[in-house]
Chain A
Amino acid sequence: MSLILHQKDLTKLIAELSEKWPVFGPVKDKNSSDVIYKQISSSKNLSLNNSSSMIPPKKFVFPGKEVVFSFERNKLKERRDKEIIVLGVNRKDAEGLFYLDKTMTTPLLDETYFEKRKNVKLVVIDSLAPSNNINCDLYLQRVDKNNYFVFPYGSFGEKIIKSKLFSHKGDVGTISTRHMPDEITHHPRLDEIVENSREHPVWDRLAETCFNCGICSYVCPLCYCFETEDNFEITKDIEKDCSGCRNRKWDSCMLPDFDKVTFHNFRPKTKDRIYNWYYHKFVRMSREYGFPGCIDCGRCITYCPAKINYREVLKELIKDERK
């Protein structure tokens, strides 16, 4: 027996969930044509079908700017997060979150990330069946025009499927779920090839076109570098009644000052920063965690103002390595 949700009941499910939790989903923006995650109360305008949002759902577990803690003079206040539901994440992005979870919780656990992450409940919607590399609470597999197969995970998933909207039905048949790993980003020796490519002319060429803007990092589901910064209320005397917060903000290793300390910049050249971006994703991360820092979503290609395409870059490195 399979657990089923009818397509027409998705909007009712969202309405039910919104009564208890804020629910966010991918919606097409009216002004730009970009898909953006926004708070929703129905399935109207929901943009599913593998369309890629401009900013990946990482923003819910690792926001562009977040408070680590706040303080009033010398008293610290820990941040408290509320449970939210992020619904309509596609399988690829859900895998991105799974890998992000791994990097932020192993070998050391980052408490600021973990606090937020455990309060984000994930509802994945995709036509492919769930893979092992997903940490979600509910998985809706769209099997035909009218039906979703429903896979609940953990106590939160079990809680959701208590709704009358879900029904049991005889097996409707299974859908092929094989998702072939990409031959470029999952090339078996990619780490070695990128590591040995430091003298390859491609890095000089990219350095001439790259704007050092960091967009490729901001839109990447698996870029997670950050800056911390203290902010305080400007009307108060910081020495006497300092009141403010420590913030964590997205950073990008493509920005010129990323590795600058007072008297030295450890990575002053654009060429070295670009190489490091690839090195991190395809060498350091692959060796540290066993997967590359890329889910092949293509966001960095879409939004790069210099039209840099990592697939073309990697293809060239792989091709020239064979020579």
Chain B
Amino acid sequence: MNANNTMPFQMKVTRTTGLAPMVKSLKLGFADPKLARDFTFKPGQFVFLSVLGYGESVLTITSAVSDLPQIEVAIRSVGNNTQALHRLKVGETVFVRGPFGNSFDLAKMAGKEVVIIAGGIGLAPLRSLIKTFEYEPKNVGELKILVGAKTPEDFIYKADLANWQKFAKVLLTVDTADKGWSDHQGLVTRLLKEANPGSEAIAVLCGPPVMFGPSIKELKLIGLKDENIYLMLERRMKCGLGKCQHCTCGEKYVCLDGPTFSWAELKNNWEAFL
């Protein structure tokens, strides 16, 4: 992080990878060797990425801490800045602020059954956590990864999903199947039956707001405790410092208090899923 938290620092693109239609992954290295040594973050934290002249986009770091001194992000091309980020080639510059936000309670997850539930591009913010478990399997008891996408080609990190089967139970579902699809179809919550988590499991969710309600309902039926259900929220953000007011969610700032919240923290919040 820069001393001045409203000034970005430079990073260079070291690799670009197409993940799905409209979605690209960028791998970034630090331009400043001192920052390359000093920079650190926690899984779940996010950065602001900018091509100067186009604005800033909020992106969760998708790589693990042990992947430093490089970081990865996944970008869906939807606005001016994200389109500009998609046009970047290896060696070109991006401007970064961060890291911001909270992390996951890794100590609490150690030895426990952890269920990751992701909808669409919601898998990206959870990848840092999954990779942390991949590198250090002792951090988790049993890992289950449930992912839903619109169509089979919309899954991001397809290679990872295949790879993660080595150490986790990976279940996939799509809204709309195509000829080659023989796996599940329907909402991601339907995978919970097959995943069959125990009542002491810890669940971590990220996806479109419509995914949260039904998922929490299912998890509560299984007997998960409110404080063991974690949600990663998305909001519009402009500062990362708890000032600009765009990311407020009732009494919480998603940029400072979040983006990860337990259901115990949110269940009485008047605008948790608005």
Contact = CB atoms under 8 A, between A and B. Distances in A.
Interface of A: 68-69, 71, 74, 76, 78, 103-104, 107-113, 198, 224-230, 232, 238, 242, 244, 246, 251, 253, 258-264, 266-268, 272, 276, 279-280, 283-284, 287
A280 B271 CA distance: 13
A251 B239 CA distance: 13
A198 B250 CA distance: 12
**Most B Cβ at <10 Å: residue of A74, A107, A227:** A74
A68 B10 CA distance: 16
Given A227-B244, A228-B239, 6 more contacts: A69-B7, A108-B241, A111-B7, A228-B238, A251-B245, A266-B235
Contacts of A246: 52
A71 B242 contact: no
A224 B246 CA distance: 11
A240 B235 CA distance: 32
A225 B5 CA distance: 17
Nearest to B240: A108
Chain B interface, DSSP helix/strand/loop, else mixed: loop
10 contacts: A108-B5, A110-B239, A224-B245, A226-B244, A226-B245, A244-B52, A262-B78, A263-B208, A266-B235, A272-B274
Contact of A259 (B10, B52, B78, B235): B235
A112 B6 contact: yes
A71 B52 contact: yes
A262 B270 CA distance: 22
B213 interface: no
Interface string B1-16: 0001111101000000
Nearest to B5: A111
Interface in B1-55: 4-8, 10, 50, 52-55
B248 interface: yes
Nearest to B48: A228
A280 B53 contact: no
Contacts of B244: 225-228, 251
Contact of B241 (A110, A225, A260, A264): A110
A266 B274 contact: yes
Contacts of B256: 107-108
B236 interface: yes
A246 B7 CA distance: 10
**3 closest residue pairs by CB, A with B:** A225-B245, A111-B4, A262-B78
B243 A74 contact: no
Contacts of A68: 6-7
B251 interface: yes
Given A78-B7, A108-B242, A287 B251 contact: yes
B255 to A, nearest CB: 10
Contacts of A225: 243-246
A110 B246 CA distance: 15
B209 interface: yes
Contacts of A260: 236
Contact of B243 (A76, A110, A280): A110
A279 B238 CA distance: 20
A115 to B, nearest CB: 8
B209 A228 contact: no
B142 interface: no
B248 A264 contact: no
Contacts of A267: 271, 274
Contacts of B8: 76
A235 to B, nearest CB: 13
Given A68-B6, A108-B5, A259-B235, A283 B53 contact: no
**Most B Cβ at <10 Å: residue of A76, A78, A198:** A76
A283 B8 CA distance: 33
Contacts of A259: 235-236, 246
Contacts of A227: 238, 244
Nearest to A249: B238
Given A262-B79, A283-B251, A107 B242 contact: yes
Interface string B66-94: 00000000001011000000000000010
Contacts of A78: 4, 7
A203 to B, nearest CB: 12
Contacts of A279: 250, 270
B58 to A, nearest CB: 9
Nearest to B241: A108
B52 A228 contact: no
Contact of B236 (A103, A198, A266, A284): A266
A232 B50 CA distance: 14
B7 A244 contact: no
Interface in B204-236: 208-209, 234-236
Contact of B5 (A110, A261, A262): A110
A132 to B, nearest CB: 24
A261 to B, nearest CB: 5
